[in-house]
Amino acid sequence: MEIRIVEKHERDLANYLGSMAFVHGRRRAPWTEDPNEPEHVIYGLWDERGYQAQVVILSFASIMGPSVVLPMGGIAGVACMPAARGRGYVRMLMIRALEHMKEAGQCISTLFPFSYEFYRQLGWEWIGIERRYGVASQALKRSEHTDRCRHADESDRAGMIEAYTNYSRRYRGMLDRDAKLWSKLLDGSAERHAYTFVYDGESGIEGYVTFVGGSDECIDIDEFIALHPSARQGLLGLLRRMNMQTRRFAWSGPEDDGLWMDLCHHALETKIAPVTQGRVVDVGAALGQWTPAAGAEGSFSLRIRDAIAPWNEAPLRVEFGAGSAAVRAWGEEPDLEMDIQTFSQAYYGSPSIDLLVANDRLTVRRPEALHAFREFLSGPLMWMNDHF
Q: What is the mean pLDDT of residues 221-227?
A: 98
Predicted confidence at residue 94, as pLDDT, reads 99
Predicted confidence at residue 266, as pLDDT, reads 96
Beta strands at 298-305 and 336-339: parallel, antiparallel or unpaired: parallel
- The reply to whether 131-273 and 282-376 are identical in fold is no
Predicted confidence at residue 191, as pLDDT, reads 87
Predicted confidence at residue 95, as pLDDT, reads 99
Predicted confidence at residue 189, as pLDDT, reads 86
pLDDT digits over 279-301, tens only?
999 999 999 999 999 899 999 99
Q: Quick one: the chain helix, strand, coil %, rounded to 5?
A: 30, 35, 35
Mean pLDDT check: name the lowest of 46-50, 186-190, 216-220. Answer: 186-190
Predicted confidence at residue 329, as pLDDT, reads 98
Predicted confidence at residue 29, as pLDDT, reads 77
Predicted confidence at residue 170, as pLDDT, reads 97
Length of the chain counted residue by residue: 388
Q: Of 282, 377, 363, which Cα lies nearest the Cα of 320?
A: 377
pLDDT interval class at 304 (50, 70, 90): very high
Percent of the chain with pLDDT over 70: 100
CATH 3.40.630.30 matches 2-106: yes
The amino acid that residue 3 corresponds to is I
pLDDT interval class at 31 (50, 70, 90): confident
More confident residue, 213 or 177: 177
Q: How far is residue 332's CA from residue 328's CA, in Å, rounded to a whole number?
A: 12
Q: Judge whether 74 and 111 are in contact, CB under 8 Å.
A: yes
pLDDT interval class at 34 (50, 70, 90): confident
Q: What is the mean pLDDT of the chain?
A: 96
Predicted confidence at residue 117, as pLDDT, reads 98
Q: Judge whether 240 and 271 are in contact, CB under 8 Å.
A: no
Q: Judge whether 20 and 79 are in contact, CB under 8 Å.
A: yes
Q: What is the mean pLDDT of residues 304-315?
A: 99
Predicted confidence at residue 28, as pLDDT, reads 80
Burial 334-345 (b: 16+ CB within 10 A, else e): bbbbbbbbbbbb
Q: What is the mean pLDDT of residues 354-369?
A: 98
User: Has residue 30 got a pLDDT over 80?
Assistant: no
Q: Of 161, 174, 182, 179, which Cα lies nearest the Cα of 61?
A: 174
Predicted confidence at residue 368, as pLDDT, reads 98
Predicted confidence at residue 204, as pLDDT, reads 97
Q: What is the pTM of this model?
A: 0.95
User: Has residue 25 got a pLDDT over 80?
Assistant: yes
User: Has residue 254 got a pLDDT over 90?
Assistant: yes
Q: What is the mean pLDDT of residues 198-227?
A: 97
Q: What angle, rounded to 10 degrees, do the helices at 179-186 and 157-168 form?
A: 110
CATH of domain 131-273: 3.40.630.30
Predicted confidence at residue 182, as pLDDT, reads 97
Q: How does DSSP assign 138-161, residue by residue?
A: GGSPP-GGGGGEEE--GGGHHHHH
Q: How far is residue 138's CA from residue 239's CA, in Å, rounded to a whole number?
A: 9
pLDDT interval class at 32 (50, 70, 90): confident
Half-sphere exposure of 226 (CA within 13 A, CB side): 24
pLDDT digits over 176-209, tens only?
999 999 999 999 988 899 999 999 999 999 999 9
Specify the fold of 282-376.
Nonspecific Lipid-transfer Protein; Chain A (3.30.1050)
Separation in Å, CA 107 to CA 57, 197, 278, 285, 341: 13, 36, 11, 6, 14
Predicted confidence at residue 315, as pLDDT, reads 99
Beta strands at 149-151 and 324-329: parallel, antiparallel or unpaired: unpaired
pLDDT interval class at 33 (50, 70, 90): confident
pLDDT digits over 115-172, tens only?
999 999 999 999 999 999 999 999 999 999 999 999 999 999 999 999 999 999 999 9
pLDDT interval class at 264 (50, 70, 90): very high
Which run of H or of E encompasses 339? strand 336-339
Phi/psi region, residue 246 (left: phi>0; alpha: psi -120 to 50; beta: rest), is beta
Q: What is the mean pLDDT of residues 207-216?
A: 96
Q: How far is residue 11's CA from residue 15's CA, in Å, rounded to a whole number?
A: 6
Predicted confidence at residue 375, as pLDDT, reads 98
Q: Judge whether 318 and 301 are in contact, CB under 8 Å.
A: yes
Domain limits of the chain? 2-106, 131-273, 282-376
Predicted confidence at residue 317, as pLDDT, reads 99
Cα-only R_g, the chain: 22
